[in-house]
Amino acid sequence: MFGASGGPRRQGVALEAFKFALYLAVPISLTFFVAFNPTMLDKVIKNRMYVVYPPEGPRPPTNEELWEKIREKKNKEEQGR
């Protein structure tokens, strides 16, 4: 009735164990394949660039530059009187 394999229940458990092992092995092996292969990792990163930043614009003035502009403005106002 059950045959040499131990019965339908044991076959079902073996099938579920195989599916579970496959479920774990595929993502883990793909992760290792991509993570430890630098060329593949570069391809994936370049292919999945979701955020594209605009080119960098001019930098705001530093504190020293701002204080210098304030001093120049005050000097111009004093000279204008």
**% of residues, the chain, pLDDT over 70:** 89
Q: Is the pTM of this model over 0.75?
A: no
53: left (phi over 0), alpha (psi -120 to 50) or beta: beta
Contact between residue 2 and residue 8 where contact means Cβ atoms under 8 Å apart:
yes
* pLDDT higher than threshold 60 for residue 2: no
The residue ranking higher by pLDDT, 73 or 9, is 73
Q: How confident is the model at residue 1, as a pLDDT?
A: 42
DSSP string, 3-65: TTTT-HHHHHHHHHHHHHHHHHHHHHHHHHHHHT-HHHHHHHHHHT----PPPP-PPPPPHHH
Q: What is the pLDDT of residues 38-72, one digit of tens each?
A: 898 888 888 887 777 888 999 999 999 999 999 99
Amino acid identity, position 69: K
Nearest-angstrom CA–CA distance, 46 and 53: 14
Q: How confident is the model at residue 35, as a pLDDT?
A: 84
